[in-house]
Amino acid sequence: MDIKETFCPLCGKPSLEGEVCGQCRAEKTRWLECPPRVTTVICPTCGARKEAGGWSDLKVERDELARQLITRMVRLHPDLRDIRMTITLDEISVNRNRAECQVSGTLFGVPVEGSCATEVEWKREQCNRCSRISGSYYEGVVQVRATGRRPSPREVEETTRIACAVEASMMESGERLSFISRIEEHRDGIDITVGSQRLGSEIAAAISRDLGGRFTTHPKLVGEKAGRQIFRITYSLRLPRYSRGDVLIVGGRYMEVLGVDGRQLRCLDHSSGQVRSVPERQVERRAGHKGDAAAWMVAFRDADLLGVLDPSTGVTKEVKIPRGREICPGTAVRILKDGDRLVLLE
């Protein structure tokens, strides 16, 4: 068979059917282009980024974001294969980075290599959340109070922890405007000021789920915007008189509250180890909270009595062993002090 040899019209090297060869085509093609500048808007307060008119919280470092933006903006020839890009960043000023992109790949079967320079400009603009926070904007207040008493320091701490956890999970799911703008402790309880009504009702629901109690919702008209009425909502939450972990005296016995349902308490009777339902009105008084109990060492056992060492004084005291419990000397037990009396907890 007679194979007709053909040549590239530009360089004269052999080529298929007399076409311009890959080498010449690659040399003549602008296959790499960088925009002179990439601009992005960042909130100076929280670092959120404005994108397509909306704000989103950044999950990446600034350098990483710069690389992502540049990678997206660099224009490469569609026929370029085996692309490898290295981006080197230099900080020119707080608001500007110089970037050098080195790209290599294969174009029309020929290895190519090139580089281009660009700049990343960081514009600063306060985001919608930060401007709401600095403008003291809010949509509701969760007011936590307790029935017939003040919320305990433990409840105040728990309430704060729950509120912050709900805020964090809503932020995580992209609800940027669901922020807590203030948590204030008052003489009679705690107020949590929230940036969105959804956050308010989620916090109130989570607290009552965890600590018991109920809440009611009280909207108040505060104005109008673009024909829409603007409400602020007070979520009024009342913690139950007794809460989980409280140690109460019922019928002369110590009981620990396991749960509260309205005015009915689910209690663990520490002397019998049984769980009972107790109406709130049968409670004689509150002896303390199981969180206030301390670990005491058991020094000896004598029939149904234990000799236990007070960790604060080193003095040995005696306490009766609840029925059905096996406790050995040398172990530690949880003991709550109720005045002079000792309550041995589970």
- Pairwise CA distance, residues 171 & 179, whole Å: 8
* Contact (Cβ atoms closer than 8 angstroms) between residue 139 and residue 197: yes
Among 31, 40, 46, 164, binds Zn ion (CB under 5 A): 46
- Residues facing 41 on adjacent strands: 50, 123
* Contact (Cβ atoms closer than 8 angstroms) between residue 15 and residue 21: yes
In degrees rounded to 5, what are phi and psi of residue 56? -140, 150
Min CB(48)–Zn ion separation in Å: 5
**Is 42 a residue that touches Zn ion (CB under 5 A)?**
no
Min CB(20)–Zn ion separation in Å: 6
Segment contacting Zn ion by CB under 5 A, of 126-134, 225-233, 302-310, 335-343: 126-134
Among 29, 40, 45, 201, binds Zn ion (CB under 5 A): 45
DSSP H helices, 144-227, are: 153-172, 197-211
Min CB(218)–Zn ion separation in Å: 30
Segment contacting Zn ion by CB under 5 A, of 9-17, 89-97, 186-194, 316-324: 9-17
| CB crowding 16-48: b at 16 or more within 10 Å, else e | eeeeebbbbbbeeeebbebeeebeeebbeebeb
Segment contacting Zn ion by CB under 5 A, of 36-44, 173-181, 303-311, 316-324: 36-44
**Is 177 a residue that touches Zn ion (CB under 5 A)?**
no
Segment contacting Zn ion by CB under 5 A, of 7-15, 30-38, 280-288, 330-338: 7-15
Among 26, 65, 103, 127, binds Zn ion (CB under 5 A): 127
- Residues facing 54 on adjacent strands: 51
Min CB(13)–Zn ion separation in Å: 5
CB nearer to Zn ion: pick between 9 and 291:
9
| Residue in the block written with tokens 């689910």 | 266
**Is 43 a residue that touches Zn ion (CB under 5 A)?**
yes
259 membership: H or E segment, kind and range: strand 253-261
- Pairwise CA distance, residues 270 & 302, whole Å: 20
- Pairwise CA distance, residues 285 & 308, whole Å: 25
CB nearer to Zn ion: pick between 43 and 343:
43
**Widest pairwise Cα distance in the chain:** 115
| Residue in the block written with tokens 């509250």 | 257
**Is 21 a residue that touches Zn ion (CB under 5 A)?**
yes
**Is 10 a residue that touches Zn ion (CB under 5 A)?**
yes
Please enumerate in sequence order all residues whose Cβ is within 8 A of that of 333, keeping only pairs 6 or more positions apart, or say none.
295, 296, 298, 306, 308, 327, 344, 345
CB nearer to Zn ion: pick between 48 and 336:
48
Segment contacting Zn ion by CB under 5 A, of 18-26, 99-107, 196-204, 276-284: 18-26
Segment contacting Zn ion by CB under 5 A, of 4-12, 146-154, 237-245, 291-299: 4-12
Q: Show the site string, 180-219: x = touches Zn ion by CB under 5 A, - = not.
A: ----------------------------------------
CA-wise closest residue to 343 among 302, 287, 286, 285: 287
Among 42, 66, 101, 130, binds Zn ion (CB under 5 A): 130
**Neighbour tally for 137: CB within 10 Å:** 15
CB nearer to Zn ion: pick between 70 and 130:
130
Which residues contact Zn ion by CB under 5 A? 8, 10-11, 21, 24, 43, 45-46, 48, 127, 130
